[in-house]
Chains A and B, each alone.
Chain A
């Protein structure tokens, strides 16, 4: 009996394949449109996962706790003297000041992120050099030296030279020499970044002495981050205390929100396709009616004809999945997700040129299948019931 059923299903599968081949232009057009929808959904899913992974990987090297002074709900300069107030909190390894801000380049209409760092004071400051493709991070004594992100070279048109100037608030120019460039692997955070020492950043932004943008707190035991953050909050009530896990969650939420928004748009496209497939499957051409009637007179049961429709849909949706997912992988890995970068990479004018490696977990594949293949199968097989119930006697009498 099992052998009979297997042979029967193989025969029906063979007929479904020949049926698809007979209507090859129609099958091909459905395959291409369906493949395109799956490609868009899978690309979006892959690029979101890849960006989240990348962000998590890069954020692993950020300070465990960041302190910012808040006033009237806005961030303002935090006094360097707050470092003394933290001295008594057990578990703090080091407190390092940082000055940062955005510099709007009116000529190129681009925003750069400028960061003044005290690299020598950071516990693993020397390791920052590993994020560079060339050069070293600027030391405290190296005035007018900067390390830049990969897009800054192009934005400032630095080909063939290593100096550039930025305007101070009083419109006087401050010159810099490029002594290093960040690796492209860190593009997600450093693409539009200019790093200099603390004094240069203070000079560029005109920040008064004794104030910095934030204080980076490094702790001795990473499992104690939350406890230490609470102690700092108690000691400095006017200070916003951001922990690394919180920042990581924020990044995930941002990518999640953008991904969700994009997915909703793409699911709408999928819904339109499924409705179209339903509509097509509901209608029956005279040739199809005739074919079904002939098959029924020749001894085919309604369920055999439904099985043909089922296999046709499985073949089309399976092929569309393979084509769509493969194209999505190529798009994300070799095309740097060029279709979705503007949506997913934020507001920056300088879009990072990321080299993403998609992580395609089993759950992601199942999710894509659930949102594409299952609705398509339902949209084609359920209305096929009506077509499969064409009365056999319609093949008789001319």
Chain B
């Protein structure tokens, strides 16, 4: 298993008056090269689960092993280093910095890795060509279309060749055509051996044929129908 969660819980503001239990007793395993959808309404805990899988923070309790590393034992700095090597993120609304060019946005994850400018450009150019947006490389990201923006976000998630791709509500602000196009790209990534986890309550996502498994989250627990 590339992703292995066992009895994972997450409580925000633990011990304080505003304590919130976001996840409770989550058991989840995701095999390498598979595509899983985390489904559930807003506030169900999907994003928190995605953040734990994405090594943004460790669980409050339980075991979470991502690409062979136990998160609970990793200090914050090593979580970041593990995240760099392992996880590619695609955000809701894509979270592209609109003032930066397309090329600059895609190469952002490479800057703290000490990758030289020439190599950065070369890697980004390959992805831009793969997604058919190489002509937009020097455009400010704020001036490109929604479809192009989506491909820029995917290219950014792949720039460091991470084995796991996480997408948080990626189609929430896309029309049907762009949502379909997004899922086609995800399918290609899966076929290329990437492990894909998507948090979404969009039927176009969780009902997509490429999805191997849909996990329903409700009130911080995995819902078994």
Contacts and interface: CB of A to CB of B under 8 A. Distances in A.
A392 B89 CA distance: 12
Contact of B56 (A6, A12, A22, A392): A392
B95 A294 contact: yes
Given A297-B56, A393-B56, A396-B168, A11 B95 contact: no
B97 A396 contact: no
B68 interface: no
A131 interface: no
Interface stretch (B112-120, B125-133, B177-185, B200-208): B112-120
Contacts of A14: 111, 117
Contact of B114 (A7, A298, A398): A7
B97 to A, nearest CB: 6
Interface in A269-301: 290-291, 294-301
A298 B81 CA distance: 10
Given A22-B99, A397-B168, A297 B112 contact: no
Given A18-B100, A291-B97, A299-B80, A398 B92 contact: yes
Interface string A381-397: 00000000001110111
B164 to A, nearest CB: 13
Given A7-B116, A393-B56, A395-B95, A295 B108 contact: yes
Interface residues of B, number: 36
A230 interface: no
A262 to B, nearest CB: 42
Nearest to B84: A299
Most buried by B among A7, A295, A397: A397
B91 interface: yes
Nearest to A6: B114
A391 B51 CA distance: 11
Nearest to A392: B56
Given A8-B113, A15-B111, A301 B83 contact: no
Given A7-B115, A11-B115, A298-B109, A396 B56 contact: yes
B57 interface: yes
A398 B109 contact: no
B47 A393 contact: yes
B59 interface: no
A353 interface: no
A18 B104 contact: yes
Interface in B143-157: 156
Contacts of B160: 299
A299 B48 CA distance: 18
B113 A299 contact: yes
Contacts of A4: 114
Contacts of A294: 91, 95, 97, 108
Nearest to A7: B114
B174 interface: no
A5 interface: yes
Contacts of A296: 80
Interface string A8-20: 1001101100100
Nearest to B89: A297
Contact of A397 (B77, B92, B113): B92
A15 B111 CA distance: 8
B95 A290 contact: yes
Nearest to A1: B114
A301 B112 contact: yes
A15 B105 CA distance: 11
A129 interface: no
A392 B172 CA distance: 20
A304 to B, nearest CB: 5
Contact of A304 (B89, B99, B110, B112): B112
Given A7-B114, A22-B99, A294-B97, A396 B47 contact: yes
A395 B91 contact: yes
B93 A398 contact: yes
Given A299-B160, A396-B50, A398-B169, 12 more contacts: A8-B114, A11-B112, A291-B97, A294-B91, A297-B91, A298-B89, A298-B156, A301-B80, A304-B112, A391-B57, A393-B57, A398-B93
20 contacts: A3-B114, A8-B113, A8-B114, A11-B110, A11-B112, A11-B114, A14-B117, A290-B95, A294-B91, A298-B89, A298-B109, A298-B156, A299-B83, A299-B160, A300-B112, A301-B77, A304-B111, A391-B57, A393-B56, A395-B91
Interface of B: 47-48, 50-51, 54, 56-57, 77, 80-81, 83-84, 89, 91-93, 95, 97, 99-100, 104, 108-117, 156, 160, 168-169, 172
Q: List the 5 closest pairs (A to B, CB-CB), nearest first.
A: A299-B84, A397-B47, A8-B114, A7-B114, A11-B111
